[in-house]
Structure 1
Amino acid sequence: MKIKLLLLLLIFATGFSSGQVVVQEDFNASTSLPTGWTSNGSGTSTQSCDGNSFRRNVYNTGGNSTMTLTTPNQVASSNGNDISVSVDYKVVDWSLATSPTPANFGTLELQFSIDDGSNWTTFSTIDSSNHIVSNTCALISGIIPAANVPIGSDVKIRTLNTYNSGDYYMYNDNFTAVQLGACLSPMALDAANITSSSADLSWTSGGSGESSWEVEYGIDGFTQGAGTTITPATNPVSTTGLMSNTDYDYYVRANCGAGDYSEWAGPFSFTTLCAAEIPDYLEDFSSYIPGCWVEAVDGDPVNGPSSLGSSNWAEEEFAHLGSGLGGVDINIYQTGDIEWLLSPQFDLSAGGYEINLDVAFTNYNATTQGAFDADDDVRLLYTLDGITWNTIVQWNAANGNTPAAGGETFNADLSAITGSNVQFAIYSDEGATATGDKDFHIDNFQVRTIPSCQEPTNLAVTNITATSAT
């Protein structure tokens, strides 16, 4: 697949400080002609080469005998070097535009002018001897010799299709003209090896043969000139000292030497990873999904989830007790439904930590006590490596530890877990049978240093009425 910049870099429009002819236009921004272009054809996405193309129905030697597609006149733009030009084209029979036209359709020429179109010179031709008969696009290309475009001359380039026989559509697309010595923008920007504080930025040279670049990066949406600049930059280049869980943009331009720079390419966006949390940590789910938490589905409680990105966990007032309480819940209702809610990673290498969270089990959208089916399974899990998961607690009917409808606090000692990238998860599995409709709730997820004087745990509320509770 071709990489296109969707870019028209013309002297009169962008004000290059050094003369050079550079045209890179794929016409995908609109079916209308870009500013300064002319054509007797029209833009279309129907059977196009790629995105949008320009085409004309050419079918006689009268008023419909030609098609042209012409660049703007680039005033005093030539730097005196050869200009390499290429255009995608195809010739297909009129109507459905899917059957290729025979080779004797006529001619397609590439032409240039240095006097704003008063006189044209042909430098490449497609005719019956070299036309590729196909309903997919081929390439016409050629070189405008340096001797014909002296330094400071105007340059205008066009395609000219002239009719011979048939009734066909002529398509033109992906018009490129590059003058040797032009400093072209990099393309195919990318970011790899992303961590919580660094990323490797890379790109592909636009073809100017440069070996040095300038990079500017900053938080998503930053104004160029206010970011952090790396100059000179290699390809790839590493950025460090970034903030975790943060969206960044970056731009890059080529340094072609002697003060000649390309236009900036970008922005390209990437997001740094979440850093491991060092307790004490508390998540009250006042907003959802909290930063660095992840939803997932399917899988099993030993090997982890099989699909990250979304689940049926949802924001809901804890135990349905009223507004302003925060919390999240999972509706245990659909047969075989496996849902995950994964915490950020934690650095527990210092040891001496515990985990506690509020849990409740109610009937669906109610404050009444829920009851597990025999194969319902809810667990609090942890992993040290993201591959193998271990159970801290399993809530189910067999264990007889159904959380109270009004809520209770679960607490577990983590002193034996001293990994530097420990992740927790709440796992819910409806099982093969579904005879009830229940909600499992969590809130106030906390990982902290074990206090010297423990407060009471497993607080619970039952037998709730309008005027009393146990």
Structure 2
Amino acid sequence: MNTKIKTLASLFIFVLFMGCSGGDDGGSNCGKVESVSFYTSPVSATLSFMPGSNANSFRIEYGATGFTPGSGTVVVTSNSQQEITGLTPSTTYDFYITGICSATENSAPYKLSSVTTQVSQCVGTTTVQIGQFYPDAVDLQFAFTGGSADHFEVEYGLAGFVLGTGTRETTSFGSSSKTISGIQASTAYDFYVRSYCSSGETTAFVKYTYTTMGSCPKPVNLNSWNISGACNAGMGETRAFSWSYLGGNPQSYTISIVQEATDNPANGNTFETSNTSISISNMYCLWNAFYVRANCTGSDRSEWAGPYYF
């Protein structure tokens, strides 16, 4: 009888001991991740691992090698493969991966040490050309030297604004141009531009300052040609004059014909028209160049465009 009692007691103690034992995780049913691998780009690291038992999500904390756990950047994911972005080229990082089984139960963290990102592939210079056809819009033409860029970004605001507080725009993928509307006339703006390289990196911002055209810009694309006659015979020639205007619809235009290009157009032989062209008869050879200006609302006048020699 005593022998049976001792045997049952020993079996109970053995079963109790086995039920409390948890192996490597100190009794936890939340298994530690295993078989961690990775690959890097200049600005990212992609981690792959095998989940431990009962884990349904994972907490990844990372920072520069040697950082103190609890002070790093944290990403929580339900995937066993995760890309970590926003890293710095040629920099070594540590990663701690913890399995999450429930609100109260986590696995022991797996430490992945000395993950070094690749050398930068985005070391060129970003430039931009700024121009206007209309007073309320600017056209930006970007370029990147020293490599290839997938697209470009610009942040802009009134001259003197602090980077990070302006308005940001990006070009579409593969495009190097952007038109920004809603711009004020006769106003100084700062434009900060940068490139996005195919590696996912960005260049540093480069600053440009540009003062927009006035509300009544001058005409462009001046031209002139002979319609009939000759300037040195009979009644002279009949000559056509034309131009383009892209800034709106002025009330009229004033054309000034001068003998020398250095003459003040305000003192020339002037004509007014509501069209972007005019023909003038009885032209003789002493007239050699013309200017044209736009007459906008009220007393608003553009600068003289020209001279155009004919």
TM-score (norm 2): 0.45
- In proportion to residue count, which structure has more strand? 2
Max Rg structure: 2
